[in-house]
Structure 1
Amino acid sequence: MKKSFLFLLIFFVSYSYAQSVNDYKAVVVPLKYDFLKGENQYRLNTLTKFNLNKAGFEAFYSNEAIPNDFSDRCSLLYIDVLKENGFLITKLFLTLKDCYGKIIFQSPIGKSKEKEYQVAYSEALNEAFQSLFALKYKYNGSTTTKVQSEIHTEVVKPMPAPITTAKNVISEPVVVNTVVADSNLLYAQPTASGFQLIDSAPKVVMKVFKTTNPSCYIAVKNGLQGVLLLKENQWYFEYYQNDNLMSEKVVVKF
């Protein structure tokens, strides 16, 4: 009975997703999953890439140089493995997302009752991959629409100092060093705590973390910590450098 149910579930998933995953050339594998502490812990990322190759996909690690044939980031899928809480049972499932963060495929939950993490995670992940194997993936040659980089030119005008005539006092403005950011459009990929902003490489350019204000994120870029703020429908990365407040325009698509 259990095997029959699993077969029907895999058949349903296969029917639902086969056509859409066949539109994509390859899959990008992250170096670390959010539910684990270290990169490639328990060799799950290696196992993920192995299973993707077994399923017929080209697969690349996120820090790997991707060949020119795969330069269009929207022709790629981005895999993630997630853990669901379970009492005495390890539960994992995988998702494949497009360049906009939309889920193209989500597997049923793979389970394991093994107590040792290495064995349990591997067993659960392999079971989750069964539905992907059932798709019998084959790239159909479909060309996804390439997203062109948006170029923005910003002229920074000096801020005049406001004058208070009543007291004859000239207040000094706050000096903000505005930097015109890299004009390439960044794409926001959801994470457990916020988003990671990636470019067309694809390469993670910035990580942002949610706050109670949806117009403000804690942001980290190249070792610099600051905030990502929405001002007048435009995002800015603001941080201090050598005691100077810097404001960097960021073009991002959430």
Structure 2
Amino acid sequence: MKKALVLLAILFSGFCFAQSETINNYKYVIIPEKFSFLKEPNKHNLNTLTKMVFEKYGFTVFYPNDQMPQDLMLNKCGALYGDLVDDSGILSTNITILLKDCSGKVVYTSLKGRSKEKDFKKAYYEALREAAASMAALNYQYNGTPILQAGHPNPNATASVPTTPATQQAVATATPAATVTPTIVNENQLFAQPIANGYQLVDTTPKVVARLYKTSQADYYSAQGEGKTGVIFKKGNDWFFEYYVNDKLVTEKLNIKF
């Protein structure tokens, strides 16, 4: 029995090391204000405690409606999304901590925390503490590698430059002293087709020109396509694609039909 426990510990440590290689690429974690298994936001202070757990292990943590830094606002795939899974039974309360990327792929699963406390609040606290203790094996430390898309760090740490004439014109006219972001008007009709975790935009060819990935905010998507990575969002009745070219923010107005 003792040998089996030692072997399990070694396997878990190796698994955590493999996970940490990916997780170290992420600086931010976004957690919901209400977990799906509870009826109220922050019931039993569980969301607050979960935020504290991630902060304890070095992450910068936000709720979806918090004011976020510009790099995260422009690329929600730069964050992991924290969640709790409750698979409690009759005799115990069971909690597992998950981390997912912006496409919904699970990149970390903690050990299951258990409690036999009868009081729900105490049981959740104890189970969360036990699950959180296994996170120490991650040895998390942000390595500064930007994430351009779900699960894929940018090896060059700079966004690729689009070569369309409209983009080149925007770059040429943008200056460091400019206070207004240039807007490119893309009059091509684009059609949004549902895919897993978002949409793909196709033109009339038809050709896939971009993919949109859902975030926790309505009408706000992480986007990538044709050498551009940024966000697509709705403002008023119009849709816009914002991305960086040579460290300058470019805004492209899109004609999207959902």
Query: Could you tell me the TM-score, scaled by structure 1's length?
Result: 0.59
1:139 aligns with: 142
Q: Of the candidates 80, 84, 88, which is equivalent to residue 87 of structure 2?
A: 84
Shift of 1:187: 2.3
Runs of 4 or more above 3 Å deviation: 1-10, 151-156, 195-198
C-alpha displacement at 1:52, in angstroms? 0.5
Q: Percent same amino acid among aligned pairs? A: 37
Distance (Å, rounded) in 1 between the aligned partners of 2:218 and 2:11: 34
For residues 83 and 190 of structure 2, what CA distance do their matches in structure 1 show? 40
Gaps of 5+ in 1: 157-183, 190-194, 206-247
Contact 2:78 2:147 in 1 (8 A): yes
Residue 100 of structure 2 corresponds to residue 97 of structure 1? yes
Amino acid at match of 1:15: F
Amino acid of the structure 1 residue aligned with 2:148: T
Which residue of structure 2 aligns with residue 175 of structure 1? none
**Of the candidates 55, 60, 69, which is equivalent to residue 57 of structure 2?**
55
Deviation at 1:126, TM superposition (A): 1.4
| Aligned residues of 2:88 and 2:95 also touching (Cα < 8 A) | no
Aligned residue for 1:154, secondary structure, equals strand
Higher helix share: 2
Corresponding residue for 1:46?
48
Alignment check: 8 A CA contact 1:13 1:107 kept: no
Q: CA deviation at 1:131?
A: 2.1
Residue deviations 1:5-33, cap 9 Å, x none?
77446424422311110011110010011
Counterpart-to-counterpart distance in 1, 2:122 and 2:130: 12
Range with bigger deviation, 51-60 or 79-88: 79-88
SS of the residue aligned with 1:118?
Answer: helix
Alignment coverage as a number of residue pairs: 173
Aligned to 2:36: 34
RMSD of the alignment, in Å?
3.4
In 1: Cα distance, 2:133 partner to 2:117 partner: 19
Shift of 1:78: 0.4
Structure 1 residues 196 and 3, CA gap change in structure 2 (3 angstroms): farther
- Does residue 129 of structure 2 align to residue 126 of structure 1? yes
Structure 2 unaligned residues grouped into runs of 5+: 151-158, 160-185, 192-209, 223-230, 234-255
2:27 to 2, 25, 31: 25
